[in-house]
Amino acid sequence: MINVKKTLHVGMIGSGFMGKCHANAFRAFGGLFDSPISIELYKIADINDELAAQSARTLGFEHSTSDWKTLVDDPLVDIVSIAAPNALHEEIALRAIDRGKTVYCEKPLSVSTGSARKMMLAAEAAKVVNLVGFNFLRNPLIAVCRDMIASGKLGEIISFKGRHAENYMLNESLPHSFRTDPAGGGAVADIGSHIVSMARYLLGGISEVTARSRTIHRSRPVTLGSAEKAPVEVDDLAHVILQFDSGVVGSIDVNWMATGRSMDLSFEVTGTGGAISFSQERMNELHIWEAGISAGYGGFKKIETGPDHPPYGNFCPAAGHHLGFNDLKVIEVSELIDTVLTGSSNFTDFREGYRVQCAIDAILRSTKSGHWEKVASD
């Protein structure tokens, strides 16, 4: 263990949905994980003083500001938690890195490969702790999946089929926002990064992609309730074929207008000796098919998350009580703090965020070119 302060002060930028998730995770960490470090919610920044002060009261921060730069520059801030719109990630992170802060950035790392690379190189040069918020990878059952693949329990891997489908952009009266900003917006860039990170975590690097996309709602209101509309220049859905470095060919679907789906981050991996199937909508269940089962007893079997799948036991001593979305964020924060304590790397650092962005950019290029596109390497 390296020498670190006993209390780490968090400065958070942004208090929307993900900001609330970050704050709740930091607050819950001390009650669930035995650590020599305590966390203090010190300062929050948002777009104006009133909203920042209100968010500080609601989320439990001691101080608030409408100037995120003063938050980053504050010598008492140890961890800068970035929950701001995607296009702001680079500027905030680079300033925080320059000030020697630990940087916890919500996904995606940035809005382009060039921007993500700049952030990655800066963090590595400064040797600051850094982590990107790919929280779905923190599900204990995903570790089981990875172990089964790596150990050969599924035999030779034949294919990967993944999907991230939600319906929160289905309503055409929703106005333009950072989600529809051509600089980093669209379903592929916003939620596609989750299923790309999952594919990489399970099966390794992606070398080449080909993709097709569609925009369903061609225009949206400029502001909420406005009669004035502006064209939508980003994708609503995409279908992608992936070529992995290993030679495995897979596919992913990305759709934020998927009628009837609220959180379908799902995948199926098939091998010569078995298969696994998972959906985030039933995140405490993993379905496994194994070869060699007696005739008449075949099919997928279900396993449920429990104390045998660390760190589930930190949350509950008995199976069947289930983890939730926000619990995954707490696990993510625990890994961030462990990285601060040990000085070790974590598997979703800025370099991994950069690699995911390389795949996202290749997908977006392919939707325009109509051809296979190479994924940039390190």
pLDDT digits (tens, 9 = 90+) for 151-176: 999 999 999 999 999 999 999 999 99
CATH 3.40.710.10 fits 140-319+354-374, yes or no: no
Give the pLDDT band of residue 101 (cuts 50, 70, 90): very high
- 134 pLDDT above the threshold of 90: yes
Q: At what angle do helices 17-32 and 325-342 cross, to 10 degrees?
A: 60
More confident: 110 or 343: 110
The mean pLDDT value for 29-56 works out to 97
- 254 pLDDT above the threshold of 70: yes
Give the pLDDT band of residue 117 (cuts 50, 70, 90): very high
Q: CB count, 10 Å around CB of 62?
A: 12
Residue 311: asked if its preceding bond is cis (omega within 30°), the reply is: yes
Q: What is the pLDDT of residue 2?
A: 66
d(CA 312, CA 327): 9
Give the pLDDT band of residue 377 (cuts 50, 70, 90): confident
Domain range annotation of the chain = 7-136, 140-319+354-374
* pLDDT digit string, tens, across residues 300-329: 999 999 999 999 999 999 998 999 999 999
Q: Would you identify the CATH topology of the domain 7-136?
A: Rossmann fold (3.40.50)
Measured between alpha carbons, how far is residue 159 from residues 210, 269, 275 in Å?
Answer: 16, 6, 10
* pLDDT digit string, tens, across residues 209-251: 999 999 999 999 999 999 999 999 999 999 999 999 999 999 9
Give the pLDDT band of residue 1 (cuts 50, 70, 90): low
Burial of 340 (0-12, 13-18, 19+ CB in 10 A): buried
Measured between alpha carbons, how far is residue 359 from residues 93, 175, 352 in Å?
Answer: 21, 28, 11
Q: What is the pLDDT of residue 149?
A: 98
d(CA 231, CA 222): 9
The mean pLDDT value for 41-60 works out to 98
The mean pLDDT value for 125-137 works out to 97
